[in-house]
Amino acid sequence: MNLTLYTSNRFFKPLLVATLLTVLIAVPSINGWAQEDCKQAMNAAVAAASNQEPITVSMKDLQKRPEDYYGKEVTIAGEINRSFTPNIFTIRARNEDILVISNAPRPEVVLPLNASAKRVRLTGVVQPYDRGQLECAYGPLHLEGAEGRSFTKNAVLIVNKEQPAKETETAKLEKPLPAVPTPETRAPVPAMPPTVPTPEVATPEAPKPEPSKSLPRTAGELPLLALIGLVALSGAWVKSALE
């Protein structure tokens, strides 16, 4: 029996430790998934309401009949009363507050209506006050010590400041094209008068050289040599005859 108990303890303790570690690791993940689901659900509800035209209502009507405005986007005006964080504050009217939760600091989501900037106007989506649901979607509200106040019994205003939209293709096409630099304007070149062909002037021809007046040669040198030879032979014959 002791062996059985020892064996049981030997395997039970590691199993218990492994189970505790699994729970410690899994719980934060489960909480993270749940918070992400809450945030997505709340963002979807706010986005759907933001597609409608905002309704201008008085603080009195919103406090008296909040259920008439759940899931709708409204515009209200009142005085800033409490500030819990830069994004969480209350608007006061008729001695009652309405809690405002925004995704941007207060100066970016309110419109001052007087010089002191205490009375403001803002637009948001009306949701019922459910602290667990709101903290699941937006994190801690830091309302410690304020639970039970009027704003925990009234509606809550969720302000989702729109981010600047990305430039669409249509917007790109609507942009004017950059001006094309035009070439420099040059002074016009004056037109040249048409050229008139000048008549050609006939130049007198140079006089041709006159032919030489010397007599033409009628015979070549060979007959002259023959004649000289004949005379020489004749002279030699005559001389030999005389002797």
What residue type is 83 in one-letter code? S
Question: Could you tell me which CATH class the domain 1-162 is placed in?
Answer: mainly beta
**pLDDT value at position 116?**
87
Question: Cα–Cα distance between 51 and 71 in angstroms, integer?
Answer: 11
- Side-chain-facing half-sphere of 13: CA atoms under 13 Å: 5
pLDDT of residue 215: 47
Total residue length of the chain: 243
Counting Cβ atoms within 10 Å, is residue 76 exposed (0-12), middle (13-18) or buried (19+)?
buried
From first to last of the 243 residues of the chain, give the pLDDT tens digit: 554 555 555 555 665 556 665 545 544 444 445 557 887 877 777 777 777 889 999 998 998 899 999 999 999 999 999 999 999 999 998 788 999 999 999 999 999 999 988 999 999 999 999 999 999 998 999 888 787 888 888 899 999 887 444 443 434 444 555 565 555 555 666 666 666 666 665 556 656 656 555 544 554 556 667 677 777 777 777 677 776
pLDDT of residue 101: 95
The count of other CB atoms within 10 Å of the CB of residue 38 is: 17
pLDDT of residue 28: 45
Q: According to the 3-state scheme, what is the secondary structure of the chain? A: CHHHHHHHHHHHHHHHHHHHHHHHHHHHHHHHHHHHHHHHHHHHHHHHHHCCCCEECCHHHHHHCHHHCCCCEEEEEEEEEEEEECCEEEEEECCEEEEEEECCCHHHHCEECCCCCCEEEEEEEEECCCHHHHHHHHCCCCCCCCCCCHHHCCCEEEECCCCCCCCCHHHHHHCCCCCCCCCCCCCCCCCCCCCCCCCCCCCCCCCCCCCCCCCCCCCCHHHHHHHHHHHHHHHHHHHHHHC
Tell me what pLDDT residue 23 has: 44
Domain ranges of the chain: 1-162
User: φ, ψ for residue 171 (rounded to 5)?
Assistant: -65, -40
The alpha carbon of residue 46 and the mean position of all alpha carbons in its chain are separated, in whole angstroms, by 29
Q: What does pTM read for this prediction? A: 0.53
Helix axes 131-138, 2-50, angle to 10 degrees: 90
